[in-house]
Structure 1
């Protein structure tokens, strides 16, 4: 994520800023400019500060304090490019639903920031029966109604999210129940969108053969695979080949977990780059790194990994200094890097499945210094 500032007074902005804390001017995110824009009101319209020719309207969800994205004033759309994909939202007359939905929308917009920066295709459900859409639902038991529990998941472009995931206490309970070291709203979105993009970028693509060689055959019975995972767990030494325990359940889940991890890496590296971070510890050279590039458009995965490994070692060290668990409780082995390489190639539309993925993996591993495994939680 980039960092932003007010064009009027240079106050730093967070991505979610809707009004400048210093000069109190309204602000909003313009996805075309990829900037949080300072706004002025004139003649009944919102204009970009210093650029009166650039006119906007607020996304309709701004009325619920749930979105700060902007729409061109001459657009026929009511919702912004992110909120346009919502199919169902909870009953917002219930305050607790509204609070949780706002948190969900915050995470979803961060997801869309990355997807738009990467120029990934985002078909609307209204135009394509398998286009991307979101249902944000309340569990029937919570509403004292009968019916099956709401499960967060993906089905042919439709992503369903149980809004209880926005409750920190409930999410922590589920994190402990399922033995997940890393369970966040944004992580859920990045995982589920991975399933969507498997359909879009792999399912009917020549790279499908390479996918099966790297991740396994997705034609294996999915339901049986999940039952086996929940009954038996991930198996021994899974960390050598998978980015998470859940990734061992089925090739689809492996791809989705790897996809989410790739987005974690890219977004965090962009934040580090925006702050001009450099790693220059008084240790061996392999821990040095400079964040001075745009990870969304890096031509090869090796550049990302060489910056990522020292950064995560530093982040974990800082957390431990504060008595906190590791911020990054994962290991990137050559096998996992190979899977990340496949995702990188799909995002950058490299379709030569016969050689590109294998060649990229070989180049990535050969170009790396000795891999650094970030410290893991006990």
Structure 2
């Protein structure tokens, strides 16, 4: 992700900030122009510094402490692009639901940042019918914790809001022997299913290449799911897959790899904007010496991206271990996985 600063006092700020800690100005994110706008607190609407003829207001979900994006004051939609995709949200009269939902919306906005950088639309016409990205954020029945399952169906992504609860998420992570489980990871995975329908399903050439790399999508999904949870992943899964779950079905291999594609693009863009250079005090390992001197969204080839990403993961993991945390990126990018990432990179930029 880019770095942001208050346009009033130049103080560095985060993507999620609604106010500047240094000068006290209000802050809002202008999605179309990838800018943080600074303005005197309580002075909305404000003039759009990019288009002087527009006045800007916060997205309607700002009033619920769930969004810091700006919208055109006289526009038809009072919700920003990210919030307008909500089909259903949980009952916010329960404080725990509201807190979970706020965390979910924060993660979703980071997803939309990446989609915008990749120039990926969220609305399509397929077979003469609308095919749009939308979200249901639902709470499980207290008597049936499995009543809401996270998944994707025909453009609609459902997320169990318990995934916003760190204790619950860690419990599921341990139960499933996962090495990584985050809200942002869920979004990146599930949106991969959406873009499989858009980029692969109805494109004969892409579908042919997909099947050569990921396997046959026509395999019965229900049977594959039962087999996976009964037998687990094969012992040598790391040779060809990014995760054990990716071995379950070609669709899941695609979605898992897609999520990692978004991971590496965002990490590398952040490193570029920080001007990171790695020159470790370790002898005879020249491939750890890299300068993150390019924006991965500007058309770099995947081999160059991977060459810079791998040393970054080693450094990030080392920093995490220094703080007593688990590895931030506990994965191995084998050659078959890199080929899958390269395919995704290609179809995204077609």
Superposed pair shares fold, TM > 0.5 = yes
Instruction: Name the SS of the counterpart of 1:286 in structure 2.
Output: helix
Instruction: Name the SS of the counterpart of 1:15 in structure 2.
Output: coil
8 A contact 2:152–2:193 mirrored in 1: yes
- Which residue number in structure 2 is paired with residue 95 of structure 1? 95
**CA displacement at 1:124 relative to structure 2:** 7.6
- Which residue number in structure 1 is paired with residue 317 of structure 2? 316
Change (3 A) 1:296 1:128: farther
Change (3 A) 1:50 1:85: closer
Q: Deviations over 1:179-209 (max 9, x none)?
A: 1100000000000000000001111112100
Aligned-residue Cα RMSD (Å) equals 2.0
Flag structure 2 segments of 5+ consecutive residues without an equivalent: none
Instruction: Name the SS of the counterpart of 2:71 in structure 1.
Output: strand
**CA displacement at 1:322 relative to structure 2:** 2.8
- Which residue number in structure 2 is paired with residue 366 of structure 1? none
Q: Deviations over 1:77-129 (max 9, x none)?
A: 1110111100000111111111000000000000000001111021189x954
- Which residue number in structure 2 is paired with residue 376 of structure 1? none
- Which residue number in structure 2 is paired with residue 26 of structure 1? 26
Change (3 A) 1:65 1:124: farther
Whether 2:288 is the aligned partner of 1:287: answer yes
Provide the rounded CA distance (Å) in 2 between the counterparts of 1:43 and 1:319. 41
Map 1:332-371; keep pairs closer than 5 Å.
332-349=333-350
Provide the rounded CA distance (Å) in 1 between the counterparts of 2:24 and 2:49. 13
Change (3 A) 1:245 1:276: same
Provide the rounded CA distance (Å) in 2 between the counterparts of 1:338 and 1:301. 9
Whether 2:203 is the aligned partner of 1:207: answer no
**CA displacement at 1:148 relative to structure 2:** 6.1
Whether 2:155 is the aligned partner of 1:157: answer yes
8 A contact 2:44–2:57 mirrored in 1: no
Whether 2:4 is the aligned partner of 1:4: answer yes
Flag structure 1 segments of 5+ consecutive residues without an equivalent: 350-378
* TM-score of the pair, normalised by structure 1: 0.87
Instruction: Name the SS of the counterpart of 2:260 in structure 1.
Output: helix
- Which residue number in structure 2 is paired with residue 130 of structure 1? 131
Provide the rounded CA distance (Å) in 2 between the counterparts of 1:140 and 1:321. 40
8 A contact 2:5–2:11 mirrored in 1: yes
Q: Deviations over 1:282-337 (max 9, x none)?
A: 33211111112111233310121011011111112222233332221110111000
Provide the rounded CA distance (Å) in 2 between the counterparts of 1:51 and 1:159. 34
**CA displacement at 1:152 relative to structure 2:** 0.3
Q: Paired residues, what number? A: 345
